[in-house]
Amino acid sequence: MQSPLPVRNGVNATRLRLPGEGPWDTAMDYVLERFGHVDPDGIIERFERGEVVGMGGIPLTAATPLTEHTFIWYYRELPPEERIPVEIGILHQDEDLLVVDKPHFLPTTPGGMYVAESALVRLRVQLGIPDLIPMHRLDRMTAGVLLFSTNPETRGKYQTLFEKRRISKEYEAVAPVREDLDLPRIVRSRMIKSRTYLLAQEVEGEPNAETRIELMETSGGLGRYRLLPHTGKTHQLRVHMASQGIGILNDSFYPELLPQAPDDYSRPLQLLARSVQFTDPLTRLPVEYRSRLSLDAFPGA
């Protein structure tokens, strides 16, 4: 559903569905009961200033009946964020596609405590492209190649590539070496991740996650691995590496969840989305985008 409010400072307006009935006479009554514990005066002021709108951008007032609108939109009041000391590298940009090197520690999209400090919002502001949308996601702690659509008219063609698994991705990781582990190997398992639980889990059942693990070189007890995921489950590569007894270096989740601590920018997760390959749906030509970043924990990298 298209928002009637434009992107502001790189951030989309928030959409809220109003209940069809209830004890609230007005839309503002409902919003106050739901969010009034945060900033009741601020909510009232937004309605009075006409900053809460319905379909077509129609402003709501304090007296607008609850049932007059099914959806309303408004801009969130965002707290100040400390800048994450990393920069995004641009690998390719045209009228349809933007390809970047996302650094470690920067989330792909807004969420939780990170809104302005996300790759999406930073790039929208930096490049002046409010319609920018990510075609896929990388974990906050994972660096590497990330694709964005810059053109709503051609976006669906690129989305289809991901939906039909016509994208080949290659990752690199640094992890300990197990002399008794035969590589290359394909790891398959059934993975689940609850919205309320931090970690992904492997459970009994039909496999829904598959990764090919290859060892490229070794040095000082560490290995540089090539990871080729056939599926794209959350934390799949981290879980599959840990399940083989070769957890990725500096991973605070797998195989053991470490106590929460501030980010240590000198110890990034040693996982990199090295390349993405596909046949461009517009030109019909094969393309490959490769990261210029490296994993500095591996000697000589």
**pLDDT tens digit string along 16-62?**
999 999 999 999 999 999 987 878 898 999 999 999 999 999 999 99
* pLDDT at res. 299: 73
Instruction: Give the chain's mean pLDDT.
Output: 94
pLDDT, tens only, 53-88: 999 999 999 999 999 999 999 998 888 899 999 999
* pLDDT at res. 300: 66
* DSSP state for residue 88 in the 8-state scheme: P
* DSSP state for residue 12 in the 8-state scheme: P
How many residues are recorded in the chain?
301
CA angle, 228 as apex, 223 and 232 as ends, to 5°? 125
**Peptide bond just before 6 cis, omega within 30 deg:** no
State the pairing for strand pair 271-279/286-290: antiparallel
- Express as a percent the part of the chain with pLDDT over 70: 99
Mean pLDDT of 218-236: 95
Model confidence at 301, pLDDT cuts 50, 70, 90, reads low
Model confidence at 116, pLDDT cuts 50, 70, 90, reads very high
Tell whether pTM > 0.75: yes
